[in-house]
Amino acid sequence: MSSHRKAPPSCAIVIFGANGDLTKRLIVPALYNLARGGMLPERLALIGVDHNDKTAEQWRDGLRDFLAQTLAKSGESIDDKLWAPIAQDMIFLKGDFEKDETYSRLSQCLQDIDGKKNLGGNVLFYLAVADRFFGTIAGKLGEAGLVRETDGRFRRLIVEKPFGHDLESAKALNACLLRHLKEEQIYRIDHFLGKETVQNIMALRFANGLFEPIWNRDRIDHVQITVAESIGTEGRGNFYEKTGALRDMVPNHLFQLVAMTAMEPPVSFDAEAIRAKKAEMFRAVHPLGLGDVVRGQYDSGLIGGQQVAAYRKEENVAPDSNVETFVAMRLLIDNWRWAGVPFYLRTGKRLAARSTEIAIRFKRAPYALFRETPVEELDADWLILRVQPDESIRLRFNAKRPGPTMALESVAMDFKYKDWFQQAPAVGYETLIYDCLTGDATLFQRADQVEAAWGVVEPVLESWADTPPRHFPNYGAGSEGPTAANDLLARDGRTWRAIK
């Protein structure tokens, strides 16, 4: 993770799935925002590959129209000076991802554009496609010689989640990718790691003498990590029925937040040093039992004053579906820093609010000093890292309320990104794409991380396959999840923070 912004080398970006939602909503807007910050390569070509019948002009104009509509929502219009370096060399190739002919034509296209623009033979391949094509496309690129790095040129591959659906499929995908590419060529992207607050965890811990000395079992009582969504399946019932909340969110998003919070200090900010510490942390996670995990499925209820349907009434969802839309778990890390400190994780759809936060609860101070005062119990101190919707860091601590008696109240100090920094518009992919262009793999998962994370949840998946839930649906839309999730903390004498 570099401390300064260097100009990425000239290259071609090849997007498989060029007409997909990901390309329109995130990749192209991120490239536009990088242009706004002067962080695109000096010479760039954008090549789209998909099965649709389109000309380069139709593809370019369609993306421009979508970007214009997006910018209009915030009162902006497209700046043609920023759009020009993206649009000037956009090529569209119609092709079947499974046919050799597609890759022969792509190879010729890359040669032609490189000869025209002198891109140095550098190519970034982006797999913005359904995960069933990941292995196929990587294999075809390898067979066509398109990922071979020679004469100082780079060939890199961006892979979106999911990285498998269980431990076996994750290992199979990694084996397939590594047959054709070296590990340092593979960038497994998780958009959560593009959030400023998530990246700031390392700065908070390792760049300040205040926090790291108390970042351990001696001072921390427990950690709560919440990724709550108020939306439902948004028409993606077919996907969700095969996936569920655990597969969709835990081995990637939630575990990446755990890793950033719990990893040991690396010897440097070198990508491999950081990724090694993350993998080490996953290997220290205590095996999960069924009693450590709660699952739920939402019923009908009120969200923002509007009645919403139960999960089983959603489009493309089975009327008797046993797929979970909520997961909570109690995680223990068996190492010197965290032994005995539980990490409570929860994620779900149709919850009370959209909120992602890491909340660190410190141990209470001794009560003896306050025995003869009206103070019956001290509130614990909290450090709350809010990832979305409003990126911020809050420290809650006890202070004396004005007056003649020793009455304490929990107060807060807040740091909000929007108040302190001038933040450029962003969709969350800018840093990640920029890092791919410059070859910085710090924020990307390595094969051993992926497999270690799946290894943690594999016993749960196997147990759930043998024991279908008996009481679905078990929480109302607009609530904070099933009561069993509260019991998970209550048996340890703790409670969840409110979702808001």
Residue type, 367: Y
Name, in order, each residue with C-beta under 8 angstroms of 99's C-beta and a sequence gap of 6 or more.
none
Is omega for the bond preceding 473 within 30 degrees of 0, making it cis?
A: yes
Task: Report pLDDT digits (tens) over 139-190.
Answer: 999 999 999 998 889 999 999 988 999 999 999 999 999 999 999 999 999 8
State the pLDDT at residue 372: 59
Name, in order, each residue with C-beta under 8 angstroms of 40's C-beta and a sequence gap of 6 or more.
8, 31, 34, 85, 86
Give mean pLDDT, residues 484-494. 95
Would you say residue 421 has pLDDT above 80? no
Name, in order, each residue with C-beta under 8 angstroms of 414's C-beta and a sequence gap of 6 or more.
392, 393, 394
State the pLDDT at residue 2: 45
Give mean pLDDT, residues 216-244. 93
Would you say residue 374 has pLDDT above 60? no
Where do the structural domains in the chain lie, given as residue ranges?
11-160, 193-425+445-490
State the pLDDT at residue 129: 94
CA distance 454 to 31: 32
State the pLDDT at residue 52: 87
CA distance 154 to 26: 24
CATH 3.40.50.720 fits 11-160, yes or no: yes
Would you say residue 217 has pLDDT above 70? yes
Is omega for the bond preceding 162 within 30 degrees of 0, making it cis?
A: yes
Q: Which residues are catalytic?
A: 253
- What φ, ψ does residue 331 adopt, rounded to 5°? -115, 135
CA distance 488 to 472: 18
Give mean pLDDT, residues 318-344. 96
CATH 3.30.360.10 fits 193-425+445-490, yes or no: yes
- What φ, ψ does residue 283 adopt, rounded to 5°? -70, -20
DSSP H or E stretch at residue 298: strand 298-303
Asked whether 246 and 457 are in contact (CB, 8 A), the reply is yes
Asked whether 30 and 429 are in contact (CB, 8 A), the reply is yes
Q: Which long-range contacts (CB under 8 A, 24 or more apart) does 438-441 make?
A: 438/2, 438/6, 438/8, 438/9, 439/154, 439/156, 440/1, 440/2, 440/271, 441/184, 441/187, 441/271, 441/272, 441/275
State the pLDDT at residue 194: 80
Task: Report pLDDT digits (tens) over 272-311.
Answer: 899 999 999 999 999 898 899 999 999 999 998 999 999 9
Pick the residue with more confidence: 101 or 371?
A: 101
- What φ, ψ does residue 197 adopt, rounded to 5°? -65, -35
DSSP SS3 for 37: coil
Pick the residue with more confidence: 227 or 1?
A: 227
State the pLDDT at residue 482: 97
473: how many CB neighbours lie within 10 A of its CB? 21
